[in-house]
Amino acid sequence: MGYEEFHRRSIEDPEGFWAEQAQAIHWHRPFDRVLEYADPPFRKWFVGGRTNLCFNAVDRHLDARGDQLALVAISTETGTTRELTYRQLHREVVDFAAVLVALGVGRGDRVVIYMPNMAEAVFAMLACARIGAVHSVVFGGFAAHNLALRIDDARPALLIAADAGSRGGKVIPYKPLVDAACAEAKVPPPKVLIVDRGLAPGWPRVDGRDVDYATLRAAHAGTDVPVEWLESNEPSYLLYTSGTTGRPKGVQRDVGGYAVAMALSMWAIYDVCPGQAMFSTSDVGWAVGHSYNVYGPLIAGATSILYEGLPTAPDAGIWWKICADYGVRTMFSSPTGIRVLKKQDPAFLRKYDLSALRYLFLAGEPLDEPTAQWIDAGLGKTVIDNYWQTETGWPVLTLMPGVEMKPVKFGSPGLPSPGYDLRVIDEATGEAAAPGRKGVLVIRPPLPPGCMTTVWNDDQRFLSSYFSHFDELLYSSLDWAIRDEDGYTFILGRTDDVINVAGHRLGTREIEESVSGHPAVAEAAVIGVADELKGQVPIVFATLKQAASDAERRHQTAGEMMRTVADQLGAVARPARVYLVDALPKTRSGKLLRRSLQALAEARDPGDLSTLDDPNALEEVRRVLARGADAG
């Protein structure tokens, strides 16, 4: 079956299509109905069916592949590697579940997990799933205030934390952040379970609240903890994403629909089958980490590689060494990660035997064409962009080599995934935008399995955030897009990342793409700043592949960038100023802090910087702004 027929059937006969896909997972009790859609846009998939994510990810593989590698946790920060077979993973997860039960955690209770990319984070997630608890992983090292907000919204029965994380060799103690968050939270958790890595010895213990994982595990090791069979639509986990009000939104996922979506995506999109290896460089605290470090590969019976460390340490070949060592078939990373490597010696791309590697998928932000071409040529592998959101849980737009490999078009994440009835519509009229015309990317509900079911404890916020933007009931991605004559979609950036220059609406993404086309540019960020005459004007912050040796060379290069934009997009898009910096401020997940850049450029408070990866990058921007533009 080709791609077109596969996707068409998922839209025209969703119940028949998803009933077939549901056979890929284990059901303790078969479902009564495939889809219940009596209260749009709320929907339920596989109604009445009972299943469990942990059973599908671990237990059901024990007979056929118990001695196969399930999880490889590699840390270049601590210099350790843990290789666990499915049988060993099962024992670790059941022991962790026994500790949870001993602490009084049960079905429906929320558990906040505050840990870096370490094996115990995976054990904790799967242990929660096993007993029917709802986990909420918070990115390790998140500021105490942000952790407190999530605690108050989820109201967990337990918080699980590592004693510390490490980045670039620098230890980041978590326990003081946990203590501060619990002190700030209105409803702090009654218990805090600490997994001690030995990175921050002597962490202070709060009597009656803090417990040590190793001690409890030793007391309950070997205990049998049975699987809790959940109705398909019960919540599996919460994953918080930023909200426009400053209060984070708890994206709520179900059990059965998510398991089915993971099973389908692993073979159809990522072309990974049982026994093969997948390496995602994401953090477990992000949506990709949930789906393609933990649940997806394990549900598929594959080997998942979990990595803690920088892409450049001990050298810029570490990712490719991992791929060679474990025969990785499909790798999943971010454009930011590749742009970091773009500044390194390209010889590392060819240093290791990558004969097993077939695909490199990139997501998390728009993939600019120059970066795509660089890594494609350097690796000699198929590079596939894919577009999705925390809310969707798996790709909305991609190519599907497991079904039919369509041609790659650099700059586009591709075609709709099964179950996604996509439209690009005019923002003002709600009518379909003609090919080549910019519009808003929307999904016609019901949303397919795997997507969020609602916002935790706030159905109204679910409706207002995603379904209130048009007269017709449509899920708004809040992203600008263009669809070409072949049906490929190109993402232009957020609908709120628009610059209005003298009445002309310009997407920052379009200008960034143009600037990044300059051969000297490694990475660029474009923002709009207030201008008394034109309302707003675009300004550029860019890093170079090789530092300019003097002010004259910087001025020449910056001027060339401005001319490139004017030549490609017209004079109205010409940047007002270009600043060349050594580093751009980013979050720990690799996303550019464009709003903070805009605030600094307009001499405003840059706001919440709790997710900032490198404070020096922000100071570098301040210094360059004080020095003055390199062009403009």
pLDDT for the residue numbered 222: 95
Which CATH number do you get for residue 601?
Answer: 3.30.300.30
Full DSSP string of 163-192:
SEEEETTEEEESHHHHHHHHHH-SS--SEE
The full DSSP string for 196-217 is --SSSTTPPP-TTTEEEHHHHH
Whether the CB-CB separation of 495 and 478 falls below 8 Å is answered with: yes
- CA R_g for the chain: 24
Check residue 101 and give its pLDDT: 98
Residue reference for tokens 């309302």 = 535
Parallel, antiparallel, or unpaired for β 498-501 and 504-507?
Answer: antiparallel
Q: Is the pLDDT of residue 406 over 90?
A: yes
Domain-located, residue 252 = no
- Does residue 533 carry a pLDDT above 80? no
* pLDDT confidence of residue 153: 97
Structure token pair of residue 494: 């957020």
CA distance 395 to 288: 10
Among 456, 135, 100, residue whose Cα is nearest residue 295: 135
pLDDT for position 146: 84
Which one-letter DSSP state was computed for residue 29?
B
Contact between residue 262 and residue 291 where contact means Cβ atoms under 8 Å apart: yes
Answer whether residue 246 shows pLDDT above 60.
Answer: no
Highest mean pLDDT among 279-283, 516-520, 555-559: 279-283
pLDDT of residue 196: 97
- Per the structure, the complete domain to which residue 614 belongs is given by 497-627
Does a structural domain hold residue 273?
A: no
Residues 6+ apart with CB under 8 A from 435: 483, 484, 485
Q: What pLDDT shows up at residue 207?
A: 95
pLDDT, residue 617, reads: 83
> Mean pLDDT of all residues in the chain?
93
The pLDDT-based confidence of 608 (bands split at 50, 70, 90) is low
75-88 residues labelled b (16+ CB within 10 A) or e (exposed)? bbbeeeeeebbbeb
Is residue 301 scored above 60 in pLDDT?
Answer: yes
pLDDT average, residue stretch 301-317: 97
Q: Please say if the pLDDT value at position 575 is more than 90.
A: yes
How many whole angstroms separate alpha carbon 206 and alpha carbon 22? 46
| Cα 525 to Cα 509: distance, rounded to the nearest angstrom | 9
* Helix locations, 239-382, DSSP H: 256-268, 287-289, 296-299, 318-325, 335-342, 369-379
Q: How far apart are the first and last CA of the chain?
A: 55
- pLDDT given for residue 549 in this prediction: 65
Average pLDDT over residues 65-82: 98
Q: What average pLDDT does range 291-306 have in this prediction?
A: 98
Give residue 615's pLDDT band: very low, low, confident or very high (50, 70, 90): confident
Residue 523: inside a domain, yes or no? yes
pLDDT at 435: 95
**Per-residue pLDDT at 367:** 84
pLDDT at 104: 98
Position 440 in a domain: no
DSSP 208-277: TTEEEHHHHHHHHTT---PPPPEETTS--EEEEE--TTSSPEEEEE-SHHHHHHHHHHHHHTS---TT-E
Confidence of residue 355 (pLDDT cuts 50, 70, 90): very high
| Residue 61 belongs to a domain | no
Q: Which two tokens stand for residue 155?
A: 């109201």
The proportion of the chain whose per-residue pLDDT surpasses 70, expressed as a percent, equals 96
Supply the pLDDT for residue 504: 63
Mean pLDDT computed over 51-71: 98
Task: State the pLDDT at residue 365.
Answer: 76
Higher pLDDT, 568 or 335: 335
> From its phi and psi, is residue 469 left (phi > 0), alpha (psi between -120 and 50) or beta?
alpha
Tell me how crowded residue 428 is: count the other CB atoms within 10 A of its CB.
7
pLDDT tens for each residue of 258-277: 999 999 999 999 999 999 99
Q: Is residue 470 part of a domain?
A: no
Torsion of CA 505, 524, 384, 440, to 10 degrees: -20
Residue 392: its pLDDT value, please?
A: 97
82: CB partners within 8 A, 6+ apart: 71, 72, 73, 119
Question: What pLDDT, on a 0 to 100 scale, did the predictor assign at position 618?
Answer: 83
Spatial separation of the C-alpha atoms in residues 185 and 179, rounded to whole Å: 10
Long-range CB pairs of 565-568 (<8 Å, 24+ gap) are 565/511, 565/514, 565/515, 568/514, 568/517
Instruction: Calculate mean pLDDT across residues 284-302.
Output: 97
Specify the pLDDT at position 496: 65
What residues form DSSP beta bridges with 74?
81, 307
In this prediction, residues 244-265 reach a mean pLDDT of 89
Sequence-separated contacts (24+) of 502-505 with Cβ below 8 Å = 502/533, 502/534, 502/535, 502/572, 503/535, 504/572, 504/573
Task: Give me the residues paired with residue 549 across strands.
Answer: none
Flag whether pLDDT at 502 surpasses 80.
Answer: no
Give pLDDT tens digits for 414-473: 999 999 999 999 988 899 999 999 999 999 999 999 999 999 999 999 999 999 999 999
Domain count, the chain: 1
CB atoms within 10 A of CB 236: 27
Query: pLDDT category, 243, cuts 50, 70, 90?
Result: low
Assess if residue 616 is contained within a domain: yes
Instruction: Answer yes or no: is pLDDT of 290 > 80.
Output: yes
Q: Give the model's confidence band at 495: pLDDT under 50 very low, under 70 low, under 90 confident, else very high.
A: confident
- 3-state DSSP call for residue 505? strand
Percentage, residues of the chain above pLDDT 90? 76
User: Is 514 inside a domain boundary?
Assistant: yes
